[in-house]
Amino acid sequence: MALRAILKYPDPCLKQPGEKVSVVDDDIRRLVDDMAETMYAAPGVGLAANQIGVLLRVFVIDIAAEDEPSDLRVFINPEIIETVGTQTWEEGCLSFPGVTEDIRRAERVTVRALDRDGKPFQLEADGLLAVAIQHENDHLNGVVMLDKLSAVKRRLLGRKLARAKAEAMADA
């Protein structure tokens, strides 16, 4: 396993959709292991492959609290096949460090995917798990958190990100 660098917005890779995984083999399992290690080290609750520069339809999620055992979930070639209701959740993103925004999403989702071993599964999720699935699936489609905001909020967040980047470069 290896830690991978997490791409930060506006890296162009974040806006590119991932390609379907044709076969779940040792290379894909190694990618999943690296993604999990990277997500835990960040720390975060989810990570999509394009966030580490790999344009494949793979993401990992673990929403377990710090005092709970790990509950790593692997989604390869995920498809959200049903959404129900709406909810607004304050979301963060490892590619937008230090930024949180209220994002409107489906309250409940049903997703179909392959697991780490290439076995198909279907899962109904609500709450934080539903939010995380939608957030990471968006990444696989080249959609970032910023794209979910109104034009005014997008402009304000863009300015905030530009200031943070300028400050980081000045400190370096």
Catalytic residues: 136
Q: What's the length of the chain? A: 172
Token pair belonging to 147 = 């794209």
Tokens 């292991």, residue located: 33
Alpha helices (runs of H) in the chain, residue ranges in sequence order: 26-41, 127-140, 151-171
Token pair belonging to 135 = 């957030």
Tokens 């609290």, residue located: 65
C-alpha to C-alpha distance for 168 and 8, rounded to whole angstroms = 13
DSSP state of 146: G
